[in-house]
Structure 1
Amino acid sequence: MTSKKKQKGFNFPHVYIMFILVMLLVVVLSWIVPSGQYERVQNPDTGITELNTEHFTYVDQANPIGFMDFFTALHNGVVQSADIIVMLLFASGALYILEKSGAIAAGIHTLLRVAEGKEKLVIIALITIFSILGTIGFGEGGIPFIPLAMAVVMGMGYDRITGFATSTIGLAVGFAAGAVNFYTTGVSQTIVGLPIYSGVGFRIISLAIFLVISVLYILRYAKKTKADPSKSLVATEYIEQLKNANKAEYEEEKFTISRKIALLGLVAVLVGGAFGAIKLGWGMPELSAVYVIYAVFLVIVLKIKPSDAAVMFGTGAAVLLPTGLAIGFARSVMILMNQAQIIDTAVHSLSGLLTNTSTIITLLVLFLVVIFFNFFVVSGSGKAVILMPIMGPLGKILGINQQVMVVLYQFGDGFTNYLWPTSGGLMAALGMCNVDYAAWVKFSVKLFMLLHFAAFILIIVAHYIGLGPF
């Protein structure tokens, strides 16, 4: 009976199909929304290209989206996303070497023995760790570690959704709070002329609030499903998982000195990558290099034959190739929107509508606009360059200080990176962890509603306390 119901029910299409459908929507919009553009000027102090909000013109669509343009956008999207895709492929290759060596299995079994009776604390610790990664700007950079966290949580007897949520929700709340997230906070503050990472205290308090809400939500679901596996969103799989609980997902392995060193090396990769991103201005090329260095390190420490390690590296990278294509296809949506020249038109219309509205309504509308805009433009820094030159001056006109506008932007940007189907990072993580998108939406949509509500309350608080630059 259950199988028949599943066959009759609605199933979300494959991620590639979803991206193509959104691309078709952009094509339709390109024939409805008039093309327009702001003048773009380079800020001599920051080197960032900004919009001149005083100079907007409607333009004739000189390059309408044609048949071949639609399909070449897929190719160009993958090419333009190459830095992220290559980093993920290299990370997956290096981590596959680590996994095949038995070091991950040994580490997980050791952790599970230590965590016995302390499962809730482990979940809280994992969410917190991933939130720290998120708040320093690890979006796609945190994806390779999600399967590891999920293996730990599932090993403690929880379902796949709990394992996936523990890491991804942590990344989401950290990225949204953005205490030292250059991609949203840093770029936005630079555009509106604030000191980078100013207002960090308010963002840390916001992160703590988001964490409390998330932890309570995830633990409630974990407790409910562990008490009654039939209430799991992946009930059939979860019941089977519990039946085979004595058959560990990873075979028992000895936790040797060399394997401990290999795992310590993984911690060093994580810490080093975070330090490089914050202090040294590292991007995806440097992070990719770190994973290659780590692969060489594993070959030496674990005494693996170089040729065998090369085969493992290629195999591990191949596993993530479908995910890499999903990230590229997500970028294709933005390519078509740029070709249609409808992004600036949408921003210009928004600024005109909000000029004479009340402050609270303006804050709410802008918040909702950023959330909605994130469906089409997932890139935090790219969206900041588009929206902040409008939101900054609009804030000045309406008496809303620039720090509040930055907070509004980053809160509107961060959460739906882990909800909208156009998010290449989310689809990458779902694919890696074999989590159904529909099940993820059923689990997370209420939590994201709570987080957005809390975020908007914090935005109002920030406005009324006159959140300053520091």
Structure 2
Amino acid sequence: MGKIKKRLKNFKAPDALLLICILMAMVSILTYLIPAGEYTRFLDPETGKEMVDPNSFHYIENTPVGPWKVLSSVHQGLVESAGITSFLFIIGGAFGVLNSTGALEALISRTATRLKGKEKLVVIFFVTLWALGGAFLGNFEECLAFLPMQITLCLALGFDSITGVVIGICGVAVGYIGGVMNPFTLGISQQIAQLPPYSGIGFRLVLWLATLTVTIVYIYRYADKIHKNPQLSLSYEVDKASKYREEISSNIEFSIRHKLVLISFVLAVIGIVYGVIVFQFYLGEMAAVFILLTIVMACISDKPVNETVNAFVNGAADLLYPCLCVGFARGLTIIMMEGHILDVIVHSLTGVLGKLPSIVSAPLSFIVISIINLFVPSGSGKAVIVMPILVPMADVLGITRQTVALAYHMGDGITNLLSPAEATIMVALGLMKISYGKWIKWFWKLVLLWYLIGIIACIIAVNIGFGPF
């Protein structure tokens, strides 16, 4: 018994990249064991989106994914995820140039001095900021651009890199759980359910506020514990040698050049937000803004061109590991699609809901959607698969369509930070340099709190007939 305890104590969870590889092998085996099946898909003339016929599920001849296809899916995954990985490289390069100007170090020095004794206000500010972005703009990947700065700031204030990351990714997750006016999950799910756009906003605002409060308290308490005793951090050893750790000096001059660099950065952020709202900017357009920002910062800093180029390359190199995780995670999804087991999983899970009373099936649909999200992390992509199945089922069970849309966006929001197939959490783990196991150790209590809030929200929605229909 003692030996078992010792082994468990010394057990180290697999690295995120290794975990994805293990899952790829497991899913490949499942394609041999699970019967293949699919729904018939068609193009909706009104929305132009590919939709699923909920009554069309049928089994097909098995299409098992062998070892060779598993190996080639890695390359295919890297190719298909090129959009987000190239965006991440450009972000890394831009922050490399920002760091080389000394402006960030000067800002952090000034901030650390002024926040003396009030350091934990950073938690409240950033979590709320990103929760607003996720709820109203559908921000998610965008927060990745700011994680290096947040890590640097939190390390300087006496916290750890985990705090620097979670004030961003947990914030956007709160935004997605609450929904409010999220154009990607809420907007598309309501469109498919033929609900008035953004109807039921009052209920979702209360849900958003409750989730935000719980999340801030959870992170605040953790940050306070680390501030008092840094050795309690799961990333303590890594943070000691972190490249994001800046030695804070009160003697750093906050020069005109520093201020101009930071002003250009703020203007770039405003430009991205404006572009997302007005012109529907996505990764390509946002990347263009960061490239322009890099050029402007280089001109302001007046550093030698070669030095600026080296700073950009080194900054991009820092995100190589997270980008590899993104590509491998996409490969995992490809294996499930090639093996035609994704629709089988959806069909099996949603089939259970149809046999239960509405008071049970509503909160359970929220949990089922969370499970499906582990395999289909894309919010809009999952909507066109799941919502056409859930809507007619809800009509039969007497659950309002608004409740189904609620269950959908809550389930999507929570497991965005659990799924190894989700790019954002893989990038975050790469930046924190902690294993997936350590991440779950930090995250599991907050996840349970989120699920509890979600289940209560679904039960209330059923009882009040959350509508309009």
The alignment's TM-score, normalised by the length of structure 2, stands at 0.91
How far the C-alpha of 1:117 sits from its partner, in A, is 2.1
How many angstroms does 1:219 deviate by?
Answer: 1.8
Which residue pairs with 2:347 in the alignment? 348
What is the Cα deviation at residue 120 of structure 1? Answer: 2.6
Q: Is the counterpart of residue 80 in structure 1 residue 83 in structure 2? A: no
Shift of 1:249: 5.7
- Please list, as runs of the form range in 1=range in 2, the aligned pairs for 1:40-55 lying within 5 A after superposition: 40-55=41-56
* Cα pair distance change 1:465/1:323, threshold 3 Å: same
Residue 66 of structure 1 deviates from its aligned partner by 2.5
Task: Please say if residues 272 and 286 of structure 2, whose CA atoms lie closer than 8 Å, have aligned partners that are also in contact.
Answer: yes
Query: What corresponds to 1:309 in structure 2?
Result: 308
Q: Aligned pair in 2 of structure 1 residues 300, 217: CA closer, same or farther (>3 Å)?
A: same
Stretches of structure 1 that go unaligned for 5 or more consecutive residues are none
Shift of 1:289: 1.0
Q: Provide the residue aligned with 2:129 in structure 1.
A: 129
Change (3 A) 1:91 1:236: closer
1:298 equivalent in structure 2: 297
Contact 2:16 2:429 in 1 (8 A): no
Amino acid at match of 1:437: Y
Distance 1:76-1:251 versus aligned 2 partners, 3 A rule: farther
2:159/2:230 contact within 8 Å kept:
no
Structure 2 residues not aligned, in runs of 5+: none
Q: How does 1:423-434 map to 2 (within 5 A)?
A: 423-434=422-433
User: By how many angstroms is 1:236 displaced?
Assistant: 5.5
User: Counterpart of 1:435 in 2: which secondary structure?
Assistant: coil
The CA distance in 2 between the partners of 1:440 and 1:351, in whole Å, is 29
1:184 aligns with 2:185: yes
Residue deviations 1:85-118, cap 9 Å, x none? 1111111111110111101101111111121122
RMSD: 2.5
- C-alpha contact (below 8 Å) 1:150/1:167 kept by paired residues: no
| 1:156-167 matches, cutoff 5 A | 156-167=157-168
* Letter paired with 1:93: G
**Structure-1 residue corresponding to 2:458:** 459
Contact 1:105–1:251, Cα closer than 8 Å, also in 2: no
Instruction: Give the distance between the partners of 2:421 and 2:65, measured in 1 at CA.
Output: 20
Residue 90 of structure 1 corresponds to which residue in structure 2?
90
Distance in 1 between residues matched to 2:345 and 2:162, nearest whole Å: 36
Shift of 1:402: 1.7
Q: Say whether residues 1:145 and 2:178 are aligned partners.
A: no
Conservation of the 8 A alpha-carbon contact between 1:180 and 1:200: yes
Task: State percent identity of aligned pairs.
Answer: 35
Where do 1:202-281 residues align within 5 Å? 202-234=203-235, 248=247, 253-281=252-280
Per-residue Cα deviation, 1:262-301 (whole angstroms, up to 9, x for no partner):
2122222223222322331222111111111111121222
Distance 1:469 1:79, change over 3 A: farther
What one-letter code is carried by the residue in structure 2 that aligns with 1:132?
L
1:39 lines up with 2:40 in the alignment: yes
AA aligned opposite 1:120: K
Change (3 A) 1:421 1:49: closer
Query: In the alignment, is the contact (CA less than 8 A) between 1:123 and 1:153 conserved in 2?
Result: no
The worse-fitting range, judged by mean Cα deviation, of 140-149 and 83-92 is 140-149
C-alpha separation in 1, matches of 2:322 and 2:342: 27
Q: Contact between 1:77 and 1:329, CA under 8 Å: does it hold in 2?
A: yes
Where 1:54 maps in the other structure, the secondary structure is: coil
Go from structure 1 to structure 2 and tell me whether the alpha carbon gap of 1:404 and 1:421 turns closer, same or farther (over 3 Å shift): same
Per the alignment, residue 114 of structure 2 pairs with 114
Q: Give, in angstroms, the shift of residue 154 of structure 1.
A: 2.3
Decide which moves more: 327-336 or 161-170.
161-170
What code does the residue aligned with 1:29 have? L
8 Å contact from structure 2 (residues 362, 462) kept in 1: no
Aligned pairs, number: 461
Give the counterpart letter for 1:72 in structure 2.
S
Amino acid at match of 2:109: H
Taking a change above 3 Å as real, the CA distance of residues 195 and 251 of structure 1, as seen in their structure-2 partners, is: farther
Q: Deviations over 1:39-77 (max 9, x none)?
A: 11111110011001122221112x431232111111111
Q: What secondary structure sits across from 1:53 in the alignment? A: coil
Mean CA deviation greater in 80-89 or 368-377: 368-377
1:173–1:414: 8 Å Cα contact kept in structure 2? yes
* Partner AA of 1:85 in structure 2: T
Match of 2:28 in 1: 27
Q: Could you give the per-residue CA deviations for residues 206-247 of structure 1, whole angstroms, max 9, x where no partner exists?
A: 221111101111222233343344544345667x69xxx9x8
- Report the residue type matching 2:283 in the other structure: M
Distance (whole Å) between structure 1 residues aligned to residue 436 and residue 78 of structure 2: 22
Aligned to 1:287: 286
The amino acid that maps onto 2:185 is T
Letter in 1 for 2:194: G
What corresponds to 1:374 in structure 2?
A: 373
CA distance in 2: counterparts of 1:349 and 1:272, whole angstroms = 45
1: CA distance between counterparts of 2:200 and 2:444? 29
